[in-house]
């Protein structure tokens, strides 16, 4: 695992956006796995700026989703499908057909999870998967105690994660209890994992993930198993390393 300490989130965003651009220069139709939350926004801004400046051609890029809420109506502004369309797909000028994600509105959620795992394989696998980290060490929505070999499946959010994500909703009562997430085993199949963590609130989780033992109690520690994992942290998030 490579750990890169950057001065701030803008520098982290620029570094990772350049890695994405380099990948597309080598492989124009690369499958980019994107994450939601506030942390990756500087990556998407820096990457879209490169595309606008014609520093990279992203017209053949493909985008896939890491996780999704269960039960939010289709088109809900906070469904991760809507978020990824708004923050990544549309600013890059890509069409919805270049984007795949799990169906959180499906009647049969277990089947939707399996279908999504298969869709990722059929798409040739994820070339670069962006990750954030939860304050409890989760990646995607793999909460502590998730199997390190898990596949895409339904999970129940912890109260802490619902609290952390309540800022996107009118109240915590509106935050869904259930989610679909790529499993840790699924995430580990991506060719390159890039985790960005910024701010002091992530410092303990980052230290446990990077320097602690490999443990299902800290899902992000699974990156230690991956042959090509890059952890980009600002100085505040690195403060416990
Ligand atoms: C959610 C997402 C994660 C993300 C986490 C942290 O739980 N499912 O993929 O990493 O939030 O979000 P933020 O970057 O806003 O702290």
What are the φ and ψ backbone dihedral angles of 199, each rounded to 5 degrees? 90, 150
Q: With a cut of 90, say whether residue 74 has pLDDT above it.
A: no
State the Cα torsion 4-8-189-31 to the nearest 10°: -120
d(CA 11, CA 142): 27
Return the CATH fold of 2-128+136-199.
Rossmann fold (3.40.50)
Residue nearest to atom 6 of ligand 1 (CA): 134
Q: With a cut of 90, say whether residue 128 has pLDDT above it.
A: yes
Eight-class DSSP state of 96: G
Band (pLDDT 50/70/90 cuts) for residue 66 is: very high
ipTM value, please give it.
Answer: 0.96
d(CA 147, CA 229): 19
pLDDT of 4 reads: 98
Q: CA of 32: how far to CAs of 48, 66, 76, 84, 98, in Å?
A: 14, 10, 23, 12, 10
pLDDT tens per residue across span 178-190? 999 999 999 999 9
Task: Count other Cβ atoms within 10 Å, centred on residue 229.
Answer: 22
| 3-state SS, residue 70 | coil
Q: With a cut of 90, say whether residue 235 has pLDDT above it.
A: yes
Sort strands 67-69 and 128-131 into parallel, antiparallel or unpaired: unpaired
65 Cβ below 6 A of ligand 1: no
Q: Are 120 and 191 in contact (CB under 8 A)?
A: no
d(CA 144, CA 35): 18
Domain residue extents for the chain: 2-128+136-199
Q: Residue 131: which of 71, 202, 215 has the closest Cα?
A: 202
Q: Are 138 and 155 in contact (CB under 8 A)?
A: no
d(CA 223, CA 229): 6
pLDDT of 224 reads: 98
Residues in the chain: 241
Q: Ligand 1: which of 40, 69, 138 to mutate, judged by most atoms within 8 Å of the beta carbon? A: 138
Task: Count other Cβ atoms within 10 Å, centred on residue 16.
Answer: 25
- Please confirm, yes or no, whether 136 is among the known catalytic residues: yes
Q: Are 64 and 30 in contact (CB under 8 A)?
A: no
Q: With a cut of 90, say whether residue 217 has pLDDT above it.
A: yes
Residue nearest to atom 3 of ligand 1 (CA): 140
Q: Tell me the CA–centroid distance for residue 122 and ligand 1, in Å.
A: 26
Interval 212-219 mean pLDDT: 98
């Amino acid at each position: 695992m490579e750990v890169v300490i950057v001065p701030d989130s803008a520098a982290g965003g620029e570094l990772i956006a350049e890695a994405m651009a380099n990948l597309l220069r080598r492989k124009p139709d690369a499958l980019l796995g994107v994450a939601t939350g506030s942390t990756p926004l500087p990556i998407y801004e820096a990457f879209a700026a490169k595309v606008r400046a014609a520093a990279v051609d992203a017209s053949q890029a493909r985008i896939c989703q890491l996780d999704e809420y269960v039960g939010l109506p289709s088109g809900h502004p906070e469904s991760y499908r809507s978020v990824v369309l708004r923050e990544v797909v549309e600013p890059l000028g890509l069409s919805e057909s270049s984007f795949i994600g799990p169906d959180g509105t499906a009647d049969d959620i277990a089947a939707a999870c399996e279908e999504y795992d298969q869709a990722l394989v059929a798409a040739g696998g994820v070339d670069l998967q962006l990750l954030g980290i939860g304050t409890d060490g989760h990646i995607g929505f793999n909460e502590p105690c998730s199997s390190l070999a898990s596949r895409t499946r339904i999970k129940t959010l912890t109260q802490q994660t619902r609290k952390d994500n309540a800022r996107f909703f009118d109240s915590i009562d509106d935050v869904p209890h259930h989610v679909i997430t790529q499993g840790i085993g699924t995430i580990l199949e991506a060719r390159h994992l890039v985790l960005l963590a910024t701010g002091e609130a992530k410092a303990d989780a980052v230290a446990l993930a990077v320097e602690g033992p490999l443990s299902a109690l800290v899902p992000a520690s699974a990156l230690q198993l991956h042959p090509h994992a890059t952890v980009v942290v600002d100085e505040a998030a690195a403060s416990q390393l």
